[in-house]
């Protein structure tokens, strides 16, 4: 008697398709777990109007500490890898902005050692670009143009690192998904999520760093455009 066998190749292909589908849904939704809540019919009448007054609108203390730590790490990495860009921008701000000074007349700095600048009540910086003379404008414009290539390459490296981290997370998730003995896709998804937790948060860190590096490039290009228009 010949017993029916399951083609392991077909089984693996089915498992791979499940992993791809789950990862795609997670990427689109921005989260790992389902957001659907099974509400009992007797409670639907009470839930039709959202309780915005009770809705949480900020991080709780432990979460806020983690987010603050993440942003601090990213800021320090940016200031290390783009040190000359920060130095150049501060040279420009020292001319066009008004620094915050202490009782001794010293310029106040933030936790990263960067100068603090006077702001309006609306939060805008007090700036006067007319303080820049023509030679200063040409000097700063030349500095940006000649360094922009290296800055963009460094930002490109940050993007590559974020893509690699994302691939590491997806592979680790797929591994946990495949190792799971759960009978449902949800069970295997939960296993994959737990198995890839460290890689997932590392991927978030790298993606955030890459996004902020891009934002820095956009800021530098904006300053370059402003200077180029003023010397034309």
pLDDT score at 48 = 57
Is 140 part of any domain? yes
Q: Does 38 reside within a domain?
A: no
Q: What domain count does the chain have? A: 1
- Mean pLDDT score of the chain: 84
Helix (H) or strand (E) holding 102: none
Q: Assess if residue 50 is contained within a domain.
A: no
Q: Does 110 map to a domain?
A: yes
Cα separation, 222 vs 147, in Å, equals 15
Q: Is residue 142 part of a domain?
A: yes
Q: How many CB atoms lie within 10 A of CB 78?
A: 21
Residue 145 lies in a domain: yes
Tokens of 221: 């290009």
Q: What does the pLDDT look like over 138-179, one tens digit per residue?
A: 999 999 999 999 999 999 999 999 999 999 998 888 888 888
Domain residue limits at 109: 69-231
Asked if residue 5 has pLDDT above 70, the reply is no
Alpha carbon 147 to its chain's center: 24
**Residue 36 located in a structural domain:** no
Give the list of residues 6+ apart from residue 202 with CB closer than 8 angstroms, or none: 165, 168, 169
Within a domain: 26? no
Q: What is the pLDDT of residues 48-73, one digit of tens each?
A: 556 666 777 788 888 889 899 999 99
């Amino acid at each position: 008697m010949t017993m029916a066998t399951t083609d392991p190749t077909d089984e693996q292909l089915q498992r791979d398709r499940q992993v791809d589908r789950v990862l795609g849904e997670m990427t689109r939704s921005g989260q790992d777990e389902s957001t659907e809540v099974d509400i009992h019919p007797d409670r639907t009448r009470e839930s039709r109007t959202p309780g915005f007054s009770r809705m949480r609108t900020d991080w709780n203390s432990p979460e806020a500490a983690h987010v603050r730590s993440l942003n601090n790490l990213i800021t320090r990495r940016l200031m290390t890898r783009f040190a000359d860009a920060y130095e150049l921008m501060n040279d420009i701000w020292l001319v066009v902005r008004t620094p915050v000074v202490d009782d001794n007349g010293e310029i106040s700095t933030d936790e990263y050692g960067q100068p603090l600048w006077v702001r309006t009540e609306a939060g805008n910086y007090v700036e006067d670009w007319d303080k820049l003379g023509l030679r200063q404008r040409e000097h700063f414009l030349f500095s940006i143009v000649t360094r922009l290539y290296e800055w963009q390459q460094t930002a490109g490296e940050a993007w590559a690192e974020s893509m690699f981290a994302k691939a590491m997370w997806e592979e680790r998730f797929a591994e946990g998904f495949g190792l799971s003995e759960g009978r449902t896709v949800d069970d295997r998804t939960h296993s994959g999520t737990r198995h890839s937790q460290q890689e997932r948060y590392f991927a978030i860190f790298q993606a955030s760093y890459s996004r902020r590096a891009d934002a820095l490039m956009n800021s530098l290009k904006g300053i370059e455009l402003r200077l180029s228009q003023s010397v034309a």
